Amino acid sequence: MTDRLPAPVKGADGAAFVAERASATPSAAVRRFAVVSSPVETPLPVSHSLEGMEAWLVRAITGPESEASRAPSYLTDGPRMNARERLEVYRSGYRARLVECLEDDYRAFSAVVGHEAFHALAEGYIEKFPSSSPSLNYFGRRFPEYVRGVEVPGFPGKGAFFSELAALEWAIVEVIHAETPPPLDGNALRSLKPEDFATAHFEPSEAVRLLRFEHPVNPFFQARWANGDESATVPGIAPSSTAVYRHGMTVWRMDLTPAMTRVLSALLDRVPIAEALGRLGVDETDPSAIAEAERSVMVWFREWVSSGFFARLVT
Amino acid sequence: MNRFSLPNLGIGIGLRTTHYAHVLEQTPEIDWFEILSDNYLHTRGRPLHYLDRVAERYPIVMHGVSLSIGSTDPLDLGYLAELKALRDRTNARWVSDHLCFTGATGKNTHDLLPLPYTEETLRHVVSRVKTVQDFLEAPLALENPSSYLEFRESRLTEWEFIARLAEEADCALLLDVNNVYVSSRNHGFDPARYLDAIPWDRVVQFHVAGHTDFGTHVVDTHIGPVVDPVWRLLGDAHRRAGGASVLLEWDAEIPSFEETHREALRAREFVREEAA
C-alpha cells in the first residue's frame, strides 16, 4: 500500500470548448463544396404542405441519394446552380458540421486513428444516432458505445481500447459542462465524530467521473496527445482507473491504484464513510498494515476533498 | 428609434471563446457583445463561468440558432425555458433567432433551412412567434437567413414574407445585410428591392459579416473583412431605420480581438457617411 497519490495531470482538455459549437454559418466542408452532376428525378408524389416539404428537405439532407435526387420536384434552379446542386450545399454541410463536432470532442481519438478513418467512423455514428436535440453539446455522448461495436479502420481488434479512449475524452467534455460545487466546509469535516463515520456520507461533485478501463488509457492519452509522443503505441490489456475532474476552470486526470479505486468508488456512490474505508482490503490481523492503510487513506481523502470531489457531507 | 423602445447599443462584436482571455483581462472598450445563446445552454460549467464575467462588464444580446421557429415539429418548451433563464441570468437586452427551420420529424440538421414562403407557412410562423413572445414576455427579433435554395411552392418573396410576418406577429427584426447580399447573389434579386419592403420601425439590430464567393454560389462564412457593397447596404439600411445596434460576426479563422473590433468599427465610416 502507498499513501502517495499519482500526480494528477492536466492539459489537452479544452478542445470541447475551443471551437464555437453552435454557429449560424455552414461548416468548413461547405466551403470545399463539390458540385454534383447528373441529377436523377424519381417520379414520386410531391407534397405541397409545409409539413410535407419540411419532412422531405430533412430527408433529402440527412438521407440517401434517392431522396436528394427528387430536388427538382421541390426546388427551383438558381442563376448558376440547378436544384440538386443547391441542395448539396446543405447536404454536405449537415455531415460536415456533425463530423466537426465529433472531432472537437474526440481530438485524441481522431489524431490516433487518422483523419480519414475518423471521418468514416463519424459518418457511421451520424447515420446511427442522428441528432434530435437543439444542442450539439451532447451529440457525441454515445460515440464510445458506438465504437465498441464497430471495427476501427487500421486497428483490427482494438475496438475495446478505442471505446475506452473515447470514454476518457467524453468524461472530459462532461466535466467541462458540469457545475462545480463550492469548497467543502472544512469545519463540518473536522467536527465529525468517530461514531458519525458509520452513517455519514459524501454527496459527490457533478464534475467528477471515475472511469475503470481494461487498458492503460490515461497514460496513453497523456503520452500521445498531451505530450505529443508519436512513439506511444496502442497498449494491450492492463486494467487501470482514472478520475477525471474539474477544479476551478482546469480539468485534471488522476490515475488511481486498485485500492484507491475501491475507496473512491464507494465514496462517490454515497456509501457511509466507515464502510467505504473498509473496502481498502487490508489484512485486519496485521496491525502494521492497518496503520499504514489508515495513513494512506487519510492522504488520499484530503487530496480528494481539496480537489473538489465532494459537494457536501451528509450526516 | 424602433417601436419596441429597445436601445441602440452602438457597435458590438460576437463574443467568441478565442477572445475570452483578452476581454476579461484587458476589458477593452467596446459597446456590447452578442452571444450565440446555444453555446451557453445545456451546460452548467465553464462556458457559463466566462459568460457571467463578461456579462458583469458589458451589455449582452442573445442570438440563437436552434429555435426552429418555422418547423412543424412542436415548439421545444424546454429550450424556451432555458433561453429565458439565460436571458435573465445575463440581463440580455433582447433575444433573436433566425427565420428558418432547423429540423423536422424529430431530426435536427443544426442548419438554418429556408422555408417555403407560402400563406400556410406565414400563418404557422406568425402563430409560433406569438407563442414564443408570450413565453419570453418580450419581443423576439427574427433575422433574415442567407439561403442557397428556394422552394417551387413559394408564392411570396422573402422580403414580402418578412414584412407581413413582422406586422402580423408584432415581432422585431434583426436585419443581416450580409445575408441580404448573399441571398441576392444566390437567387438573383436586387438587394434594394429587399430593403424597400422592410418595416424599419421594427428593426432593432443589424448584422454585418464577411462571406466567400465560390463563383457558382456565395456562402455566408463569416470569414474575413466585410466587403464594401455590404457596408454600403448597412449604411442605406441604417439610414432608413434611423439608427440601430450594429454587430460584426466573425466566426471562422477568427483574428485577434483588436483586428475583429477594428473591422467592426469600420461601420462608423458607412453609417456616418450615409447619415450625413
The confidence band for A292, taking pLDDT boundaries of 50, 70 and 90, is confident
Closest-CA distance, A120 to chain B, in angstroms, reads 19
Contact of A212 with chain B, judged by CB distance below 8 Å, is answered with: no
d(Cα B235, Cα A61) in Å, to the nearest integer?
36
Render pLDDT for B177-226 as a digit per residue (tens, 0 to 9).
Answer: 999 999 999 999 999 999 999 999 999 999 999 999 999 999 999 999 99
Residue A119 is predicted with a pLDDT of: 96
Which of B49, B68, B109, B155 to probe the A interface (max A CBs under 10 A)?
A: B109
Report whether B251 contacts B212 (CB < 8 A). no
- Select from A31, A12, A24, A249 the least CA-distant residue to A110: A12
Residue A193 is predicted with a pLDDT of: 86
> What is the three-class DSSP state of B236?
helix
Q: Is A148 exposed, middle or buried (0-12, 13-18, 19+ CB in 10 A)?
A: middle
Look at the block and give the residue holding cell 427538382: A72
Residue B274 is predicted with a pLDDT of: 47
Q: With the CA atoms of A271, A275, A276 and A282 taken in that order, what torsion angle do they form, in degrees rounded to the nearest 10?
A: -160
Has residue B28 got a pLDDT over 70?
yes
Closest-CA distance, B204 to chain A, in angstroms, reads 19
The DSSP letter of residue B188 is T
Report DSSP letters for A81-117, one per residue: S-HHHHHHHHHHHHHHHHHHHHHHHTHHHHHHH-HHH
Q: What angle do CA B143, B120, B118 make, to 5 degrees?
A: 65
Report whether A50 contacts B120 (CB < 8 A). yes
Which of A135, A173, A205, A247 to probe the B interface (max B CBs under 10 A)?
A: A135
Q: Which residues in chain A are closer than 8 Å to B216, comparing Cβ atoms?
A: 35, 80-81, 85
d(Cα A79, Cα A75) in Å, to the nearest integer?
13
Report whether B206 contacts B244 (CB < 8 A). yes
Cross-chain CB nearest to B44 (options A33, A138, A179): A179
Q: Is B38 close to A135, i.e. CB distance below 8 A? A: yes
Q: What is the mean pLDDT of residues A282-292?
A: 79
d(Cα B16, Cα A142) in Å, to the nearest integer?
27
Look at the block and give the residue holding cell 477572445: B19
Closest chain B residue to A94, measured at CA: B109
H/E stretch holding B155 reads: none
d(Cα B145, Cα B158) in Å, to the nearest integer?
10
Has residue A146 got a pLDDT over 80?
yes
Residue A15 is predicted with a pLDDT of: 42
d(Cα B89, Cα B246) in Å, to the nearest integer?
23
Contact of B261 with chain A, judged by CB distance below 8 Å, is answered with: no
d(Cα B219, Cα A233) in Å, to the nearest integer?
42
- In whole angstroms, what separates CA A308 from the centre of its chain? 20
Contact of A260 with chain B, judged by CB distance below 8 Å, is answered with: no
Q: Is B44 close to A18, i.e. CB distance below 8 A? A: no
- Select from A20, A234, A265, A154 the least CA-distant residue to B19: A20
Q: Quote the percentage of chain A above a pLDDT of 90.
A: 66
Residue A267 is predicted with a pLDDT of: 96
ipTM over 0.90 threshold: yes
Q: Which residues in chain A are closer than 8 Å to B37, comparing Cβ atoms?
A: 22
Q: Residue A105: CB partners within 8 Å, gap ≥ 6?
A: A15, A16, A140, A143, A169, A170, A173
CA neighbours closer than 13 Å in the CB half-sphere of residue A93: 26
How many Cβ contacts (< 8 angstroms) between chains A and B? 194
- Select from A221, A233, A293 the least CA-distant residue to A257: A293
Closest-CA distance, B33 to chain A, in angstroms, reads 15
Q: Which residues in chain A are closer than 8 Å to B43, comparing Cβ atoms?
A: 137, 177
d(Cα A169, Cα A62) in Å, to the nearest integer?
27
Has residue B11 got a pLDDT over 90?
yes
The residue count of chain B comes to 276
Which of A30, A35, A53, A136 to probe the B interface (max B CBs under 10 A)?
A: A53
